[in-house]
Amino acid sequence: MAKPTGFLEYERKLPPDRPVSERKGDWGEFHLNHPEGELVCQAARCMDCSVPFCHTGMLINGAASGCPLNNLIPEWNELIYRGLWREAYERLTLTNNFPEFTGRVCPAPCEGSCTCGLNGEPVTIKNIEYSIIEKAFENGYAKPNIPSYCTGHRVAVVGSGPAGLACADQLCSVGHYVTVFERSDRPGGLLMYGIPNMKLDKKYIKRRIELMEKAGVKFITGVEVGVDYSIQKLKDEFDAVVLCGGATKPRDLKIEGRELEGIYFAVDFLGRNTKSLLDSDLKDGNYISAKGKNVVVIGGGDTGTDCVGTVIRHGCSSVVQLEIVPRPPKERMPDNPWPQWPKKFLVDYGQEEAAAVFGDDPRIYCTTAKRFIGDEKGSVKEVHTVSVNWERDGSGRFIPAEIAGSEKVFKADIVLLAMGFLGPEDQLLSKLGIARDERSNAKAEYGKYATNQRGIFAAGDMRRGQSLVVWAINEGRGAAKACDLFLTGQTQLP
């Protein structure tokens, strides 16, 4: 543990974000960092709690409680308190291949189950994690994980999101020849084109990819397996295959007017923006600009927030975010006790920026879109909505019931659908003959990851459905262990 009385002596303190007035004009990351002295104080708050729920990774009521990677959080907090940064880095990377990603974009279920949070504020675990990995790169002890021997086995990892990268990193570390296939022009998957630059600067993905390449991982981009690279060739050239293609089929909203121009899936909007930013600093115009436009974002969550933050940077005329669910309470409710994930009202960076620019939080709760209305050119101009109450149906499930007379009309030049994902795309799984579960995901048991096709494994969102980056890393590591066992008959991977 760190300082025995630290949680009594020091208050939780996060570094300030860059001011909205500054950050809304660029695409740089908005989080700042503490000086080392303050980080030591924050690490000192990690208490002698006996049973540290922060690294349990349990699922309670469908949500993660504690870190799904089982990060040894109290251990590296103590090391930071003692000034042993390199040792803290080594302890952190025993369980997490990519702290630079999770330290930026993870919602930190570890903090939701921190014992300090039972009667106060949790330890700033996420910020400390971020600080450890950045100091490791800064001081040069984040190095390629070069294997000491080669097995001769060849493994194809299809998809270079967090699950694919974690799987490749682990398999390479035990001496397998690993090739990662990515159909986009840059590796990173969701990390590259699903999360905007102000949350995760792409230079950090590039930095990690370069480290993996030096260790021996081969990346092939711009190639779609099953289209540009045949299934037969895949089977002939590799001893095992791990499918990490993600859950990339977006949920649609099939209401009147859906065919109108100006209605986009959020993933397409965000991806095109990031690609244009990386290719030309948005000078090529190959993105959907919200400059001077009225924008309606349908859906909450991180993706909805990212859409709000992006259109603010474009210079939109207005932005409204519709959420069908009720507004969360300010504090935990009795049916949401610690160490469950706290379902509390939060203001994320996008809503903070919208409030600063337009004077109010853009979110409107318990509201759903009924129809889209277009102009004479076939472009969307209005979103007609209705308010809902959540009521129990005959089987006891909560369903939204429309409230008569609650209809509203919102101006909309652009509508962004940010309602999550239904599952993986069909083409590759069908060509490989992979069995599906009831949610259309690749059917493979958690912990084993083997599909119905010998030598083919599945992990991440393609297997479990849309989830967190930290769960994807968890699954990538697990699939690597299963694949290594299949190839060699034994495994030393954690």
Instruction: Outline where 337-468 has alpha helix (H).
Output: 349-358, 426-432, 461-464
Question: Residue 395 — very low, low, confident or very high, per pLDDT cuts 50/70/90?
Answer: confident
Instruction: Scan for tokens 């958690």, then name that residue.
Output: 446
State how many domains the chain has: 3
Does the pTM exceed 0.85? yes
Domain co-membership, 83 together with 190 = no
Q: Who's near 306: CB < 8 A, 6+ residues apart?
A: 195, 196, 199, 266, 270, 350
Does 135 score more than 80 pLDDT? yes
Strands, E assignment, 21-122: 58-60, 63-65
Q: How far is CA 31 from CA 16, 23, 363, 409, in A?
A: 7, 10, 23, 36
CATH number at residue 358: 3.50.50.60
Say whether pLDDT at 237 is over 70. Answer: yes
Give the lowest-confidence range in 110-119, 353-362, 368-377.
110-119
Does some domain include residue 145? Answer: no
Cα separation of the two ends of the chain: 24
Q: Are 11 and 123 in a shared domain?
A: yes
Are 243 and 257 found together in one domain?
no
Q: Note whether residue 355 is domain-resident.
A: yes
**493 occurs within a structural domain:** no
Q: Are residues 278 and 164 in the same domain?
A: no
Cα–Cα dist 251/241, whole Å:
28
Let me know whether 265 and 174 are in one domain: no
How far is residue 129's CA from residue 89's CA, in Å, rounded to a whole number?
9
Average pLDDT over residues 430-434: 98
pLDDT at site 157: 98
CATH number at residue 89: 1.10.1060.10
* pLDDT single digits (tens) 9-18: 999 999 999 9
Backbone region of residue 101 per phi and psi (left: phi > 0; alpha: psi in -120 to 50; beta: other values): alpha
Strand, coil or helix: 364 = strand
Give pLDDT, residue 72.
95
d(CA 364, CA 65): 28
Q: State mean pLDDT over 367-381.
A: 98
Q: Other C-beta atoms within 10 Å of 369: how many? A: 22
pLDDT tens-place string over residues 266-325: 999 999 999 999 999 999 999 999 999 999 999 999 999 999 999 999 999 999 999 999
Only one residue has tokens 């101009």, namely 381
432 lies in the same domain as 415: no
3-state secondary structure of 319: strand
Residues 6+ apart with CB under 8 A from 79: 85, 87, 88, 91
Give 130-170 as a 3 state SS string.
Answer: HHHHHHHHHHCCCCCCCCCCCCCCEEEEECCCHHHHHHHHH
Q: What is the mean pLDDT of the chain?
A: 96
Q: Which domain holds residue 302?
A: 252-419
| Strands 398-402 vs 380-392: parallel, antiparallel or unpaired | antiparallel
State the average pLDDT over residues 98-108: 97
Distances, alpha carbon 60 to alpha carbons 27, 65, 113, 324, 338, in Å: 36, 6, 11, 23, 10
**Residues 122, 113: Cα–Cα separation, whole Å:** 8
291 and 413: one domain? yes
Instruction: Give the pLDDT confidence score for residue 47 in this predicted structure.
Output: 87
pLDDT higher than threshold 90 for residue 396: no
Position 95 confidence tier, pLDDT thresholds 50, 70, 90:
very high
Q: Provide mean pLDDT across the span 67-81.
A: 96
Whether residues 164 and 227 fall in one domain: yes
Domain termination residue (choose one: 110, 139, 168): 139
Reported as a pLDDT band with limits 50, 70 and 90, residue 119 is confident
In this predicted structure, the answer to whether residue 1 has a pLDDT above a threshold of 80 is: no
Amino acid at 96: N
42 with 53, same domain: the answer is yes
Q: What percent of the chain has pLDDT over 70?
A: 100
Confidence band, pLDDT 50/70/90 cuts, at residue 38? very high
Q: Is there a single domain that holds both residue 337 and residue 427?
A: no
pLDDT, tens digit, 9 for 90 and up, residues 241-257: 999 999 999 999 999 99
Mean pLDDT on 59-88: 94
Beta strands in 38-143 (DSSP E): 58-60, 63-65
Residue type for position 369: A
Mean local confidence (pLDDT), 357-381: 98
Asked if residue 1 is part of any domain, the answer here is no
